[in-house]
Amino acid sequence: MLKLKISHLTEYQYDNKISLGLHDLFLIPQIQPNQRLIDWGLEMNPTPDSSSVRTDLFGNQYSQIWFKEPLDFLSIKNEIVLISSEFNPFNFLIDPEFEVEPKDDSLPAFQYSNEEKDYLNFFIRKEGGQVFESDLVEIFSGSSNLLDFLVKLTSSIYSCWKHQIRMEQDLWSPEFTYSKKEGSCRDLAWMQMHMLGSIGLATRFVSGYAFNPEIESGHELHAWIEVYIPGASWIGLDPSLGLLVGHNYVPLAHHPDPQKTLPVQGKFFGEGKSELFTEVKINEVKD
């Protein structure tokens, strides 16, 4: 069992007074069945004129805030305390009819039921699929089943692509990340989504926190993916570490579009530039 205290500070400094539009804060922990939320709260400076908790189409809870008066500074501090119990990430059964027999010379083509397709088509990313074909064929032909393939692909991305920390907020294209053989956690996640989409698998991008007990500082927002497998539901995969997602992950938002998982989403109006400062601290609490 793991008890975590997460402190996430986000500050915007504007060089002139500006007006903020409606802002959505995807900072509410999306608690999993193995987790229990002890405490959660947002501290904001200045205090919003009003706020409410909403739920989007994909089931993410988020805070919506707005301000009447212009401002030149905004601070948002997210505080979370939760307990997370260990679980076996392989404890599921895949519907046998969804399995595709591995072949040596062709890409697998997974097919969801008609009922599943109606919902999942939006989650299947197929752009640039030919770029990944040779790697996918090689890994799939050497796998005993779908789960073995997912494990080997995730491990292969971890082994063959260099993980880097990029502070820029842009997202590299999957083709660029593939050719460069490196990328941030979000770049590698976005690439894997397209790899799996090219063989018909539905995926979604996940933004949140991942606790690494081996480091005392340097925690940042993390990104990984989930793939939908009939019989198993959504399975978390972390290509940055080559692992299935375990009890040390705390999701904040999931969406087929990575931009819709950003922790702070909104616009400002007026003349000026903004500077962003963020800091994430994650500590294990010993009772």
Q: How far is Cα 63 from Cα 27, in angstroms, rounded to an integer? A: 7
* pLDDT confidence of residue 126: 80
Torsion sign across C-alpha atoms 49, 52, 57, 58: positive
Which residues are paired to 9 by β-bridges? 77, 279
Residue 217 or 129, more confident: 129
Residue 214 has pLDDT above 80, yes or no: no
**Domains of the chain, each with CATH number or no CATH:** 2-86+262-284 (2.60.40.2250), 96-246 (3.10.620.30)
Q: How far is Cα 14 from Cα 187, in angstroms, rounded to an integer? A: 28
Place of tokens 């539009």: 21
* pLDDT confidence of residue 209: 96
Residue 73 has pLDDT above 60, yes or no: yes
Nearest to 155 by CA among 233, 244, 78: 244
Phi, psi of 151, rounded to the nearest 5 degrees:
-65, -45
Nearest to 93 by CA among 246, 245, 229, 238: 229
Torsion sign across C-alpha atoms 149, 155, 157, 159: negative
* pLDDT confidence of residue 215: 60
Torsion sign across C-alpha atoms 113, 114, 118, 122: positive
* pLDDT confidence of residue 287: 76
Computed over every residue of the chain, the mean pLDDT equals: 92
Which residues are paired to 10 by β-bridges? 76, 278
Residue 1 has pLDDT above 90, yes or no: no
Q: How far is Cα 154 from Cα 51, in angstroms, rounded to an integer? A: 39
- For 3-53, what is each residue's pLDDT tens digit? 999 999 999 999 889 888 899 999 999 999 999 999 999 999 999 999 999
* pLDDT confidence of residue 66: 93
| pTM to 2 decimal places | 0.93
* pLDDT confidence of residue 216: 58
Residue 168 has pLDDT above 80, yes or no: no
